[in-house]
Each structure stands twice: as C-alpha cells, then as structure tokens.
Copies of this chain bind each other. A is one copy, B any other.
Amino acid sequence: MTTQDVFENLQELLEHNEIREFREAFLDHHIYDQTQFYLDFTDDERLELYSILSPQELSEIFENIDFDEVDIKPYLKEISPEYLSAMFDEMSSDNAADILTNLTKRERRAIFSQMTPENVTEIRNLMHYDEETAGSLMTTEFVAVVANQTVSSAMTVIKATAEDAETIYYVYVLDNDKQLLGVISLRSLLISHDDTLISDIVNEHIIKVDVEEPQERVARYFRDYDLLALPVISHDNIMLGIVTVDDIIDVIDDEAQSDYSGLAGVNTDNVNQNPIQSAAKRLPWLVALLFLGMGTASLIDHFDGLVSKASVLAIFISLITGTAGNAGTQSLAVSVRRISLNDEENRSFFGLILAEIATGLVTGAVTGLTIFIVVSLWKGNMILGLAVGVAMFCAITVANLAGSLIPVAMDRLGFDPAVASGPFISTMSDLTSVFIYFSIAGIFIHFF
C-alpha cells in the first residue's frame, strides 16, 4: 500500500465516522508520518481530528512540524484555547516555546491562563532567549542527580523521569545550588555496581555551553565530540537545560541550506513548487540584479567612444567580467564558510582581508599572465594583450577583496553573511571589472 493509499484510506474512515478504526490506523504510524497526514488533511478533516485525538497525541504531531516550511498560525487558530492549553502542557518546553512565539501576546495569555503554572514559567523563560542561541534550542526536561547518591538510587530517579525527560541517556550531576558538576552516561550507570557512589564514576570533564552561545558553535561541539546531548548553563554555571542531537541535525541542515541558497541567490528550501511559484521566488533577485547590471551597461555606454574606435575591445568584456566574477564567488564561498565555522583563531578582520588580497594577487597574476600570452598570440598585438592582462589582474584582485570583505563586514554588522550572495558579488564585480578594463584600455587605445 503506497502512502497515498494509506492517506485515502484514513480520509475514508474519517468520512464514515469510524472513529475507533481511524484512531487505530492513524496512531499506528510513525509520528513523522502522522504529521504529514495531519498537514495534508482538509480543514474539515482536521477539525474532526481534534475531537478524536487527545491533546497529548496532537502535541507529538506539533513537535514534529517543521516551522521553516509550514506556517503554523492557521492551524493554531482553528483549535480551541482549552485544547491548546492541554496540548502545550504535554509538550516539551522548548517546542512549546517555539510554537507559542507565533501567537500574539493576547492569544498566548488565553492559553497560559489554563496551563499548569510551572510549565508556563518554564516556557516563558525559554521564550526570552535570543533566536539561534543555545537557549532557544534547549529543553528543560533533563535527568539530574546529586553526587552522593548511589547508582541504584540514581536509576530510580531515571526510571521515574523517563517518561518526561527529553533524553535519559545522559544523567547530569548537580550540587545543591543546581551548579553543574559532571555527567554520567546511562551506559556507565548500567555497568556500575548498584552501591557505587555517583561521585566515584562521574565524568567531571564535561563539555557544556553558555545559554547565549550561537547555535553554530553548539552544532560544532556535537560534530567534534560525537554527543547525544549537551548541557546548557547560565553565566554562573547553573544548569538550565540540554540541547539534544535531533535539534542539532536540523540546525546543521538549515545552516548549510541557507549558505547554499545565499550563494545561488535563490531560496532552495521548498523544491516542490510549480513553475509560477518557482519563478516568483527567483524573480526578485534576478530583476534586482538586472537593474544593478544596468549600472554596468551604462558604464560601457559611457565608454562607447572607445568601443567605436576599437571594436576589438568588446571581445574581452565578458571574459574579464566572467573570470573576475568566478574569482569573487570562490572568495565569497571561502569567506562565508570560514565565518560559519566560527573559527576563533582566524577571525582577525585585517588578517583575513590581507590573506584574501594576497590570494587575489596570486590568482590575478597567474590568470593575467595567461590571458596576456593568449591574446598577444591570438591578436598578434602585445599591447592589447598587456591591457587585457593588466585589467584581468586588477579585476580579479578587486573581486577577491569584495568577495571576502562584504561577508565579513556583514557578519560584523550583525547580518547573515550568506545574504551577500554569489550573483550579487558577480554583478558587483561586473561593474568594477568593466570600469577597470576600459580605464586601462583608454590608456593604450592608440595602439589597438
């Protein structure tokens, strides 16, 4: 049975009001599939669903919706505040906080008023953390024990919290002030003797992050240290929550996705669109860059006198702009990658820029020399070759500089460096390349 058949079968059960059969068939699927079905149901079918599923069952579906791709507001609006309150009471606090940020303050208040006060406090606290920080990713449902417990009493704590905790595979050891002392994996608890003291087996070399640490850095810890969860602490080492690996996979995926989209000047998030939707997504960039490109066109117009004197100049316009654009894109990619790796040691602004200028000088020199030889031989005119070669050299150096400078500057100013996209850099570099080319050609014009 294909997914489509399964879905139609579910719709039929709903239509014929066969509630028991529907529940059985629906809940039998993995929560990911349940979520897809939920999103694919019609409005009427969903309204029916809210009377069939418990708030707890729907809470799991909501935990699985990808907010980057689905606008959650209309779904929330169609559910009664009572049901929503019960649902958010069941949900892990990080996801509840993420979803609730989509509502207005007034709507939130209506929901909070009917929830368990402790849950409300937890969610409210989480909502304060900046987006894309450890705080915004963390959940407060973790397992904690104290150092002078025995292994067997720790196991009792774990069993008691197993239902609610986001992960039970790492157990955190706290002192009486909730300061984080260390961590024990469930694995080492299982292989230790029941009477062993936690303090004897705790791992105190714990990797932890500050609540305000950016999410890329958090992702990097997971990557380097092969973690399943990472504790999040306040400035004074109070344990606040944990980030789990499933959330980090989404972060790594989204980051990669947004860098990639930026480089191409198109949002590739949703690839399944009809041609009109695709075109609508691509046109803003294309038309904006078209007008930027008009700048280059009017610059060439300005140098029209040179072209009519020596039409041979027209031959090399696209070669120089294209090559400089390619160099600028390479430089951009390296620069954005370096920023997203958050490479502390390598983030001296001027060091970065100087290195990129040096790289530009080397690539420009090699490329310029190549084109000098080719043009000199092809056109039998070394002066023309020299003009094209020098222009190429300068254009590549400038493009490299722009390709690295712009994302670094954007990052410093607090913008996403990936927005300085590839097409933007190449269109910008068209402008400077044409200017450089004709300025240099103007000097040598009498020899062509």
Chain A interface (Cβ within 8 Å of chain B)?
A: 28-30, 32, 64, 155, 158-159, 162-163, 168-169, 186-187, 190-191, 205, 207, 222-228, 245-246, 248-250, 252-253, 255-257, 259-261, 263-266, 268, 271-272, 274-276, 278-279, 282-283, 285-287, 289-290, 293-294, 296-298, 300-301, 304, 307-308, 311-319, 321-323, 325-327, 329-330, 332-334, 337-338, 341, 343, 346, 355-356, 358-359, 361-363, 366-367, 370-371, 374, 396, 422-423, 426-427, 430, 434
Interface centre among A207, A278, A337 (most CB of B within 10 A): A278
Quote the shortest CB–CB distance from A124 to chain B (angstroms): 26
Q: Is B265's CB under 8 angstroms from A326's CB? A: yes
Q: Which residue of B lies closest to A335 (CB)?
A: B271
Q: Interface majority SS on A: helix, strand, loop or mixed? A: helix
Copies of this chain in its oligomeric complex: 2
Q: Which of B224, B245, B333, B367 sits near A268, CB closer than 8 Å? A: B333
Set of chain B residues within 8 Å of A276, measured between Cβ atoms? 362
Q: Which of B29, B293, B296 sits near A205, CB closer than 8 Å? A: B29
Known contacts A168-B187, A271-B343, A346-B271: A282-B322 contact under CB 8 Å: no
Q: Which of B158, B278, B307, B423 sits near A311, CB closer than 8 Å? A: B307
Q: Is A286's CB under 8 angstroms from B190's CB? A: no
Q: Is B293's CB under 8 angstroms from A318's CB? A: yes
Q: Which residue of B lies closest to A292 (CB)?
A: B322
Q: Which residue of B lies closest to A246 (CB)?
A: B226
8 of the cross-chain contacts (CB-CB < 8 Å) are A252-B252, A283-B366, A286-B326, A289-B322, A290-B323, A294-B374, A296-B319, A297-B316
Q: Is A330's CB under 8 angstroms from B266's CB? A: yes
Q: Which of B275, B300, B308, B422 sits near A329, CB closer than 8 Å? A: B422
C-alpha spacing A363/B288, complex, angstroms? 13
Q: Which of B300, B304, B317, B330 sits near A282, CB closer than 8 Å? A: B330
Contacts A186-B186, A256-B259 aside, 13 further interface pairs with beta carbons under 8 A come to A28-B205, A223-B249, A265-B330, A271-B334, A271-B346, A274-B355, A282-B359, A289-B322, A300-B314, A311-B314, A313-B314, A322-B427, A325-B426
Q: Is B248's CB under 8 angstroms from A286's CB? A: no
Q: Is A359's CB under 8 angstroms from B318's CB? A: no
Quote the shortest CB–CB distance from A225 to chain B (angstroms): 5
Q: Which residue of B lies closest to A188 (CB)?
A: B162
Interface centre among A191, A263, A326, A334 (most CB of B within 10 A): A326
Q: Is A30's CB under 8 angstroms from B314's CB? A: no
